[in-house]
């Protein structure tokens, strides 16, 4: 398994898309605040439940 601690591990974020309400179209944003155990601040799909990024 590759982990962030291993040398040569890089992540490239191509885009970030959020929606204010579930079931609506997401729109791309330039930057985001990630909240531990929550997700992207202001995104309808953020919350205290199991989700993958």
Domain that holds residue 23: 1-53
Q: What is the pLDDT of residue 28?
A: 96
Residue-wise pLDDT for 5-45, tens only, equals: 666 667 788 999 999 998 899 999 999 999 888 889 999 98
Q: What is the pLDDT of residue 37?
A: 83
Provide the domain count of the chain.
1
Among 7, 3, 27, 9, smallest CA distance to 17 is for: 27
pTM of the model: 0.63
Residue 8 and residue 4: Cα distance in Å, rounded?
A: 9
Residue 2 has pLDDT above 60, yes or no: no
């Amino acid at each position: 398994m590759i982990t962030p601690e291993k040398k040569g591990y890089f992540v490239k974020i191509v885009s970030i898309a959020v929606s204010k309400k579930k079931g609506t179209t997401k729109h791309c944003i330039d930057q985001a605040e990630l909240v531990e155990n929550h997700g992207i601040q202001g995104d309808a799909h953020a919350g205290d439940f199991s989700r993958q990024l």
